[in-house]
Amino acid sequence: MTLNVIGAGLAGCEAAWQAARLGIKVNLYEMKPNKKSPAHKSNGFAELVCSNSFKAARLASAAGMLKQEMRLLGSLLIDCADKCSVPAGGALAVDREIFSSLVTEQIKSNKNITVIEREITQLDFDGVTVVATGPLTSESLSDYISEMFGGSLSFFDAAAPIVTSESIDMTSAFTASRYERGGEDDYINCPLSRDEFELFENELINAQRAPLHDFDVSDPKVYEGCMPIEIMAQRGKDAIRFGPMKPVGLTDPKTGKRPWAVLQLRRENSQGSMYNLVGFQTNLKFSEQKRVFSLIPALKNAEFVRFGVMHRNTFIDSPRLLNPDFSTKNNGMLFFAGQITGVEGYMESASSGLIAGINAALKIKGNLPLVLPKETMIGSLSLYISDSSVKRFQPMGANLGILPALDEHIRDKKQRAAKYAERSVNALKDYIRDKGIFSQEA
């Protein structure tokens, strides 16, 4: 029996790869290049439409724990990410074009995977299917899924602008990583004095926003992880100075003091020719982005290679619809994976594809599904999105709060995170050994 995987984003590619390595023939359906969503630009697979960062790299963190679990499980996406990483302090960030090309090459060269360039508008396949169409599922398929399940949920997502490195005024900036994590030149820091920040904050709040034509904005749900900077600024004076523009952990070498506020720029590609504005997701009109963001001294002559955009994201009511193995409760042959399930974040999406792909393959083989231990980050995310007691479901990214409490109380946050990570890795290694199905390369 052939497995059908719909969508060649992060989750779909991971699902197809995992099933293929278990000997299953896979038909991977992707509507690109024939059709693209408003946010997609390239023809490659696993395209990163927002940030190029996969969050913290250190193991003693929720994001680092998740990535290490994926390495232990033989993740394709993590392997590609590690091969094209760019300096980003304590984070794992990638050159997005190289990352996409690596994933695309691996998928297209796999003898068990057949890529079919066609938009899928309804789920009428025979056999096992994994839907991994992402938060930007096409309107026709989104309507079909919504009707099938009796409704779906929406929230808004936003991307940050990107500027050329040569247009950054380095006389008004300095290189450093917050708290000296990572290399000293991983980030370009753009400091603002109190007067400069207050002018910027006022102009940001009052700037004109772009119209949102493709979805209802009468009662918008803006997910916190991608909060537009202008909406965050409206929450109160100095809100963004305690958010993405916080100056803590940084010292301006020109003054020897901590700045009043700081915008950090993170390298966007391996050549360092482009930088993105960290935490500056926005829905301002393009002309307003140029005007307002150029008020930051280091960006006074900035050349924008991409302006920020805002778009609709869709996810299903997973606690009502899905099992922990990512199969649907009313149809064990149909699986969902990725951000359409309500896992939030690039690697969270890929990890759900990893589990869905494995379990879809096991379904075809007639074997029982795998649900990772609750002590692991992937296991806890799987349990969260399938927890029927959750009544007001919202997207969830990797965080220590969804893990079972430790047996011992540890007050120090770093030591507590390290203990969670140690428990996770040990639990997963034991699980892998007992099941005897995964690669343990890490």
pLDDT at 20 (0 to 100) = 97
Would you say residue 149 has pLDDT above 50?
Answer: yes
Helix H, strand E, coil C: the string for the chain is CCEEEECCCHHHHHHHHHHHHCCCCEEEEECCCCCCCCCCCCCCCCCCCCCCEEEECCCCCHHHHHHHHHHHCCCHHHHHHHHCEECCCCEEEECHHHHHHHHHHHHHCCCCEEEEECCCCCCCCCCCEEECCCCCCCHHHHHHHHHHHCCCEEEEEECCCEEEHHHCCHHHCEECCHHHCCCCCCEEEEEECHHHHHHHHHHHHHCCECCCCCCCCCCCCECHHHCCHHHHHCCCCCCHHHCCCCCCCCCECCCCECCCEEEEEEECCCCCCEEEECCCCCCECHHHHHHHHCCCHHHCCCCEEECCCEEEEEECCHHHHECCCCEECCEEEEEECCHHHCECCHHHHHHHHHHHHHHHHHHHHCCCCCCCCCCCHHHHHHHHHCCCCCCCCCCECCCHHHCCCCCCCCCCHHHHHHHHHHHHHHHHHHHHHHHCCCCCCC
Would you say residue 156 has pLDDT above 90?
Answer: no
Neighbours of 5 (CB within 10 A): 32
Contact 279, 160 (CB under 8 A): yes
pLDDT at 376 (0 to 100) = 97
Would you say residue 438 has pLDDT above 60?
Answer: no
Distance CA 251, CA 178 (A): 9
pLDDT at 260 (0 to 100) = 97
**Predicted confidence band at 216 (pLDDT cuts at 50, 70, 90)?**
very low
Distance CA 209, CA 294 (A): 16
pLDDT at 184 (0 to 100) = 66
Would you say residue 150 has pLDDT above 90?
Answer: no
Closest CA to 263 of 193, 163, 203, 191: 191
Closest CA to 377 of 360, 352, 394, 357: 352
The residue with greater pLDDT, 269 or 282, is 282
Contact 134, 142 (CB under 8 A): no
Q: How far lies 95's CA from each of 1, 80, 186, 277, in Å?
A: 37, 10, 14, 15
Interval 304-335: pLDDT, tens: 988 888 877 788 999 999 999 999 999 999 99
Distance CA 373, CA 424 (A): 8
Domains of the chain: 3-152+316-435 (3.50.50.60), 162-312 (2.40.30)
Distance CA 339, CA 350 (A): 9
Would you say residue 402 has pLDDT above 60?
Answer: yes
Would you say residue 137 has pLDDT above 80?
Answer: yes
Q: How far lies 73's CA from each of 115, 174, 428, in Å?
A: 24, 39, 9
> How, if at all, do strands 85-86 and 91-94 pair?
antiparallel
Lowest mean pLDDT among 10-19, 74-83, 115-124, 385-394: 385-394
Tell me the chain's radius of gyration from C-alpha atoms. 22
**Predicted confidence band at 199 (pLDDT cuts at 50, 70, 90)?**
very high
Distance CA 187, CA 266 (A): 5
Contact 267, 253 (CB under 8 A): no
Average pLDDT of the chain is 90
